[in-house]
Each structure stands twice: as structure tokens, then as C-alpha cells.
Amino acid sequence: MSRDGGAGGTGGVADAGGPDGCPCAGGLTCCKSADGGPVCVESGLMHTCATLVGGTFRCWGGNLAGQLGDGSQVSSSVPVEPQGL
């Protein structure tokens, strides 16, 4: 885990190397998932969230104020599914 609670990591996604064919908008970073599909990634100060292929959403990193949306205040280096999306 990085010193920032894991926010600097990519949660298992690799840099796509450019926005070609990327569906991400609004300044989100486009990456490729392990299966090669695009994912959109946004980082906060101590957490990161990604929209994955198929529209699922996951967050990881610092969670002291509930940033991960999983109903807890426990930080996670493993992507968790926010509740209510």
C-alpha cells in the first residue's frame, strides 16, 4: 500500500497510453482493464474510484470520511463496491 492509503495505485488496471477509443469524459483518466477493456479512473486526495467495463464502479484507498461509499470508514487497498449505485 502506498503512503496515501492506496490512492496512487490503479487497482489492477494499466495505463492505456492515450484516449483513443476511450469513453471517459470530464477529465477522467482512461486505462485498460486486465481483459483489455477501457476503464475510467478518478483520484481524490487519498482514494481512487474507477468505472469498469460493463458499468460497475469500484473505489479503494483512504476511507476515514467514508469516501469509498461502502458504508464503513475502513481504508482498503482492494477495490470495494460503493453502496447504492
pLDDT tens over the chain, length 85 residues? 233 344 444 444 444 444 456 777 777 888 877 777 778 889 889 999 998 878 888 999 999 999 999 999 999 999 999 998 7
Global confidence as pTM: 0.67
71 is a domain residue: yes
Looking at the structure of the chain, the number of domains it has is 1
6 is a domain residue: no
61 is a domain residue: yes
4 is a domain residue: no
What range does the domain containing 50 cover?
14-80
21 is a domain residue: yes
23 is a domain residue: yes
Q: Is 10 left (phi over 0), alpha (psi -120 to 50) or beta?
A: alpha
